[in-house]
């Protein structure tokens, strides 16, 4: 299937590593031009060197509204507009979530500032360009924590992203802009590898045992790969997904023991 993304102008935040980089690779492979936005210039350069296509790197802190607007303006100046935004920038977590008594306001604020307000800032900056041209796709990467307990900041921020998505879809839909949210589960990234190592160190168990325990929570009995999540995101970025907006798509290998309808 031709996803009709050849020449599309895309921005991927959090695009220097992990899932963001996998999504950027998927978009490039479909012929899109991709602007990678992340905080670390060195990691951005390394990421861009591994992508065979038209790639622009723009060091950006999405907690800074002026930096976000400057990044979007740079893409528009270079390519004449924006067709796709993938919000994937989030604070990394390599430890178990804190208990209520240990959870600080600063930890929650940091999560929300990056993953909720950061997504809002980016959407707000690209929306005028998308609505003016009468088309566009925004995909917000959230997480299956939106559908379960276990981490107060994780659940709150991911539910908030889903709520943001639905509101953006309602407002921007009449102008031809679709907005969706993707809920990955635990995926085979550097972050999960660190979580497995931390869990093994904390419990004295082997890493393989910890990984098997995590995999057992999925219907597939394995963790999904970044490429598998990226394939779904790239489809949602395409004109082929025009009929999908405001809704969530989980790509977590199945969330055992729950029913969503």
Q: Where in the chain is the domain with CATH 3.40.50.720?
A: 9-185+226-247
Own/partner pairs, 92-97, CB within 8 angstroms, 24+ separation: 92/191, 93/154, 93/191, 93/195, 94/191, 94/194, 94/195, 94/198, 95/195, 95/198, 96/198, 96/199, 96/202, 97/150, 97/151, 97/152, 97/153, 97/154
Cα–Cα distances in Å, from 99 out to 109, 113, 151, 202, 205?
16, 21, 8, 16, 22
Q: What is the pLDDT of residues 182-220, one digit of tens each?
A: 999 888 887 788 888 888 888 889 988 888 888 888 999
Residue 93's pLDDT is what?
Answer: 64
Q: Is 35 helix (H, G, I), strand (E, B) or coil?
A: strand
Helix axes 226-237, 18-29, angle to 10 degrees: 50
Beta-bridged to residue 202, according to DSSP, are none
Q: In this predicted model, what pLDDT tens digit does every residue of 46-71 receive, in sequence order?
A: 999 999 999 999 999 999 999 999 99
Q: Which two tokens stand for residue 121?
A: 């800032």
Pairing type for strands 177-184 and 55-59 reads unpaired
List beta partners, residue 14. Answer: none
In terms of CATH architecture, what is 9-185+226-247? 3-Layer(aba) Sandwich (3.40)
User: Rounded distance, CA 221 to CA 253, Å?
Assistant: 8
CA–CA separation, 88 vs 14, rounded Å?
A: 5
Mean pLDDT of 142-168: 90
pTM for the model stands at: 0.93
Please give the share of the chain, as a percent, with pLDDT higher than 90: 72
């Amino acid at each position: 299937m031709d996803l009709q993304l050849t020449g599309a102008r895309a921005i991927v935040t959090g695009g220097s590593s992990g899932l963001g980089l996998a999504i950027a690779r998927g978009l490039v492979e479909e012929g899109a031009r991709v602007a990678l936005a992340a905080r670390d210039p060195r990691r951005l350069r390394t990421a861009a060197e591994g992508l065979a296509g038209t790639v622009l790197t723009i060091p950006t802190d999405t907690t800074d509204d002026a930096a976000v607007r400057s990044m979007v303006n740079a893409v528009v100046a270079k390519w004449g507009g924006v067709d796709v935004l993938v919000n994937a920038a989030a604070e990394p977590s390599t430890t178990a979530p804190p208990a209520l008594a240990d959870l600080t306001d600063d930890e929650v604020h940091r999560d929300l500032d990056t993953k909720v307000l950061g997504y809002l800032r980016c959407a707000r900056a690209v929306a005028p360009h998308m609505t003016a041209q009468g088309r566009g796709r925004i995909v917000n990467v959230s997480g299956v924590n939106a559908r379960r307990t276990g981490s107060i900041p994780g659940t709150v921020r991911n539910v908030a992203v889903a709520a943001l998505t639905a509101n953006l879809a309602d407002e921007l839909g009449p102008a031809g802009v679709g907005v969706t949210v993707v809920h990955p589960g635990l995926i085979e990234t550097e972050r999960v590898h660190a979580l497995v190592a931390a869990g093994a160190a904390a419990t004295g168990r082997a890493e393989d045992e910890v990984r098997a325990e995590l995999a057992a929570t999925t219907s597939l009995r394995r963790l999904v790969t970044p490429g598998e999540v990226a394939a779904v995101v790239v489809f949602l970025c395409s004109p082929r997904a025009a009929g999908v907006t405001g809704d969530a798509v989980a790509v977590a290998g199945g969330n055992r023991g729950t029913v969503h309808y």
